[in-house]
Chain A
Amino acid sequence: MSVARFWRKIPQRYNLIGTQCTTCGRYFFPPRTFCPECRRAGNIVDHKFRGYGTVVTHTVIRTASEQFEQMTPYVLAIVELDEGPRITAQIVCEPEEVFIGMKVTPVFRRIAADGESGVIHYGTKYVPAE
C-alpha cells in the first residue's frame, strides 16, 4: 500500500470513521458519499462507529502474503458492527476460540509494516468481548 493511500485511510483505520445518511438513517463503512436509497434526497454526515460487533463468519489464514506471513495462523472474520455495516478484520484469538455470533471489541494494533525501513500501518483489530 502506498504511503498516501494508507494516510488517507487513517481516520477509518484508527477510529472507524464512516458515514451515515440522516435521511434514511443507514450507516456506511467504508464511508460512502452517496446514499443508494435516497439518492439526491440523501444527506451524508461523518459517523464514528462505536466499534462493537458480532462475528458473522470467519476463516483461519495459514498461508499468507509476504506482509502477513509472520502472523500465521491468524483468524480473519466478517464482523457486523452494531450499527449495521460489515467489515473484514482480524480477530486476535486462538483459531479454536472463534465462533459465529461471537461478540467482539475493537483494539488498536499494528496491521503491517512496509519492510524494515518503511512506514508502519496501524489500525483496528478485534478481540473477544468480555
Chain B
Amino acid sequence: MVGIITYGVYIPKYRIKVEEIARVWGANAADIAGGLGVYSKSVPDLDEDTATIAVEAARHALKRREINPADIGAVYVGSESHPYAVKPTACTVGEAIGATPYMTAADYEFACKAGTAAIQTCMGLVKSQMITYGVAIGSDVAQGAPSDALEYTAAAGGAAFVIGRDDPVARINHTCSFTTDTPDFWRREGQDYPRHGGRFTGDPGYFKHIQGSVRLIFEQTGKNPKDYDYAVFHQPNAKFPQRVAKILGFTAEQIKPGLVVPRLGNTYSGSSMIGLAATLDIAKAGDRIFVASFGSGAGSDAFDIEVTDAIESGAFRRDAAPSVEKLLASPKWVDYATYARHKGKIVMQK
C-alpha cells in the first residue's frame, strides 16, 4: 500500500505582522487582518530561497526515519519561485540529501498545488514499482507585489513527503484531481510578481475546483466528511478554507490542527502540505485525514489519508525533527524595511 514514509517541514524564523505592512501602505490594519484572518507571515533570511527551504524540509524528513538515500529514486520540487528559470531545484535537493546520481528529478509548477502534484507523481512511480521511495516537496518564497493584496499573505516555507510502500506512517488510500483552464492568477515569464483576477480568484477558482475534486473523491470512495478526523484545505487566507469546509460539511474542529495560515501566511506550494504536516504532528494511529489542495490556473488534488500504527512505532521518530508548532513558535519579528531587504525589494545600485 502506497503512503507517507516520513515527512518534514521548514519555516524561516522571521515574521512580519500584517499591521506593519498595512502601516506602510496607509491601509486599515484591523480590516485587512480581520478580513483575511491572517495576522503575520513568515519572511526568509537573506540567504534563504526555495532550494534551501526544500533541502531543510527534506533533511528534517530523513531525520525522522532511517532510510537509505540511495533508495530514493525520484525527487520532485513544486514551487512558483524556483531560484533558476532553467536548472532544477530538485537536483540541488537530490545532491544535498545524498540521493544522486541514480534517481529521476524535475521541478513542478502549478501555482499553489505543485507540491501535491509531486505527491501524486511519486505515488504512481511507487505503485508501478519503478522506484522504492520518491520525495515530493512543496516550497516557496512567495511573491506578492508591494501594496498588492497578496503582499499581506505571501510567505516562505516548505514541506517534504517521502512516498513509499513499506510500513508507511500514513496510507494514501485514494487521490483524484479536478482541473480546468481558468485564468484566476498568473505570472508571465520574466515578471517579478504574479497578477490575479481579484475577486475572480474566489468562486470560479478556489471554490469551484476544491468542490470539484472533493465531490469526485467522495463519489469514487463512497465516503463523506464524517468519515474523517481531520481535514486540510489550501489556505491562501483563513476565510477561504473555513468557508469551503463549511460548504462541504466539514466542521471547524476537523480543520483546526491544519489551519496554520493565521500565523504563517500563504506559503503557496507549501500551504496545504504544511497543513497536512501540522495535522500529522498531532495524529494518532487510525486517524483519517482529508486533504484538498488548490492551484490557480486552475486545479485541485484531493487525498484520502489514514494514519497507521507506524506513526507510534520505534521506526519513526516524530520528535527527531521540529513540529510545525515548534517552527511557528518564538519568531523573530521584523519591520517592513528589514522585510523589504530580505525579500530583495530594495533596488540597489548595480
Note all chain B residues with C-beta closer than 8 A to A120: 49, 51, 83-84
B92 & A110 in contact (Cβ 8 Å cutoff): no
Q: How far is the CA of A45 from the CA of B51 in the complex (A)?
A: 30
Q: How far is the CA of A109 from the CA of B92 in the complex (A)?
A: 12
From B46, B55, B83, B98, contact of A108 by CB (8 A): B55
Which residue of chain B lies nearest to A48 when distances are taken between CB atoms in the complex?
B98
Residues of chain B at the chain A interface (Cβ within 8 Å) = 45-49, 51-52, 55-56, 59, 83-84, 92, 95-96, 98, 348, 350
Which residue of chain B lies nearest to A130 when distances are taken between CB atoms in the complex?
B322
Cβ of A122 within 8 Å of any chain B Cβ, yes or no, is yes
Known: A15-B96, A15-B98, A92-B45. A109 touches B52 (CB 8 A): yes
Q: How far is the CA of A110 from the CA of B92 in the complex (A)?
A: 12
Q: Is the interface of A mostly helix, strand, loop or mixed?
A: strand
Chain A interface residue count, Cβ-Cβ cutoff 8 angstroms = 16
Note all chain B residues with C-beta closer than 8 A to A108: 52, 55-56, 59, 96
B56 & A107 in contact (Cβ 8 Å cutoff): yes
B47 & A125 in contact (Cβ 8 Å cutoff): yes
Note all chain B residues with C-beta closer than 8 A to A14: 95-96
Residues of chain A at the chain B interface (Cβ within 8 Å) = 10, 14-15, 48, 70-71, 92, 107-111, 116, 120, 122, 125
Note all chain A residues with C-beta closer than 8 A to B52: 107-110, 122
From A10, A48, A111, A116, contact of B47 by CB (8 A): A111
Known: A70-B348, A120-B84, A122-B92. A109 touches B48 (CB 8 A): yes
Q: How far is the CA of A2 from the CA of B45 in the complex (A)?
A: 26
Q: How far is the CA of A37 from the CA of B293 in the complex (A)?
A: 59
Which residue of chain A lies nearest to B45 when distances are taken between CB atoms in the complex?
A92
Note all chain B residues with C-beta closer than 8 A to A116: 350
With both chains docked as a complex, state the minimum distance between the C-beta of A96 and any C-beta of chain B, in angstroms. 14
Q: How far is the CA of A125 from the CA of B95 in the complex (A)?
A: 17
A70 & B46 in contact (Cβ 8 Å cutoff): yes
With both chains docked as a complex, state the minimum distance between the C-beta of B159 and any C-beta of chain A, in angstroms. 16
Q: How far is the CA of A14 from the CA of B47 in the complex (A)?
A: 15
Known: A70-B348, A120-B84, A122-B52. A110 touches B95 (CB 8 A): no
Known: A70-B348, A111-B47. A10 touches B95 (CB 8 A): yes
Chain A to chain B: the 7 pairs with minimum beta-carbon distance, closest first: A108-B55, A110-B47, A109-B47, A14-B96, A108-B52, A109-B52, A14-B95
Q: How far is the CA of A116 from the CA of B45 in the complex (A)?
A: 18
Q: How far is the CA of A48 from the CA of B96 in the complex (A)?
A: 12
Q: How far is the CA of A122 from the CA of B94 in the complex (A)?
A: 13
With both chains docked as a complex, state the minimum distance between the C-beta of A36 and any C-beta of chain B, in angstroms. 29
Note all chain A residues with C-beta closer than 8 A to B350: 116
Note all chain B residues with C-beta closer than 8 A to A92: 45, 47
With both chains docked as a complex, state the minimum distance between the C-beta of B184 and any C-beta of chain A, in angstroms. 31
Q: What are 16 A-to-B residue pairs whose CB atoms are below 8 Å?
A: A14-B96, A15-B95, A70-B46, A71-B47, A92-B47, A108-B55, A108-B59, A108-B96, A109-B52, A110-B47, A110-B49, A110-B51, A116-B350, A120-B51, A120-B83, A125-B47
Known A116-B350, A125-B47; 17 more pairs at CB < 8 Å: A10-B95, A14-B96, A15-B96, A70-B46, A71-B46, A71-B47, A107-B52, A108-B56, A108-B59, A108-B96, A109-B45, A109-B48, A110-B49, A111-B47, A120-B84, A122-B52, A122-B92
Which residue of chain B lies nearest to A125 when distances are taken between CB atoms in the complex?
B47
Which residue of chain A lies nearest to B344 when distances are taken between CB atoms in the complex?
A70
With both chains docked as a complex, state the minimum distance between the C-beta of A18 and any C-beta of chain B, in angstroms. 15
Known: A70-B348, A120-B84. A110 touches B96 (CB 8 A): no
Note all chain A residues with C-beta closer than 8 A to B59: 108
Which residue of chain A lies nearest to B84 when distances are taken between CB atoms in the complex?
A120
Q: How far is the CA of A70 from the CA of B345 in the complex (A)?
A: 13
Note all chain B residues with C-beta closer than 8 A to A48: 98
Note all chain A residues with C-beta closer than 8 A to B95: 10, 14-15
Q: How far is the CA of A71 from the CA of B48 in the complex (A)?
A: 12
Q: How far is the CA of A107 from the CA of B45 in the complex (A)?
A: 12
Greatest chain B CB density within 10 A among A116, A122, A125 is at: A122
A110 & B84 in contact (Cβ 8 Å cutoff): no
Note all chain B residues with C-beta closer than 8 A to A125: 47
Q: How far is the CA of A68 from the CA of B222 in the complex (A)?
A: 58
Note all chain B residues with C-beta closer than 8 A to A71: 46-47
Note all chain B residues with C-beta closer than 8 A to A110: 47-49, 51-52
Note all chain A residues with C-beta closer than 8 A to B83: 120
